[in-house]
Amino acid sequence: MRIISLVTLILFFSSCSTHLTKSGKNVRLVTENQKEKYCKTLDIITASNELGWDAAHHSQNAMNEARNRVAELGGNGMKIISSNNSQGYGGSSQAIVQVEALSCNFTKK
């Protein structure tokens, strides 16, 4: 019975995370200077998350969601436009991140 409870608890907490996809792991953060030299804009993405233990976890989940969505568009870079943690009613919080999805050629000189 203890093992079932432990497995259920682990599954519950892991389901509260936005995991990076294989291609999402290849999306890197880009500075304004890098963007101007190596990248073209694909789209603007807004990602949010309120599933997690605390504000830092919400922020990480929102960033993971943004990376995954950039990768889905065929991008390999993203520049953060804005990042915000807000406190809601009853102590709940939400993280919202807005990024510029980019296709970058980092080997270009």
Residue 90 counted as domain residue: yes
Residue 43 counted as domain residue: yes
| 107 pLDDT tier (thresholds 50, 70, 90) | confident
Q: Give 22-80 pLDDT, tens digit per residue.
A: 999 999 999 999 999 999 999 999 998 765 556 667 788 889 999 999 999 999 999 99
Joined tokens for residue 82: 């804005």
Residue 109 counted as domain residue: no
Residue 18 counted as domain residue: yes
pLDDT of residue 102: 98
pLDDT of residue 83: 85
How many separate domains does the chain show?
Answer: 1
70 contact partners, CB below 8 Å, separation of at least 6: 24, 27, 42, 45, 76, 77, 78, 99, 101, 102
Domain of residue 67 covers 2-104
Residue 10 scores a pLDDT above 90: no
| Residue 22, phi then psi, degrees to nearest 5 | -60, -45
Residue 16 counted as domain residue: yes
Residue 40 counted as domain residue: yes
Residue 82 counted as domain residue: yes
| 85 pLDDT tier (thresholds 50, 70, 90) | confident
55 contact partners, CB below 8 Å, separation of at least 6: 85, 93, 95
CATH number of the domain where residue 38 is located: 3.30.110.70
Closest CA to 44 of 76, 83, 16, 79: 79
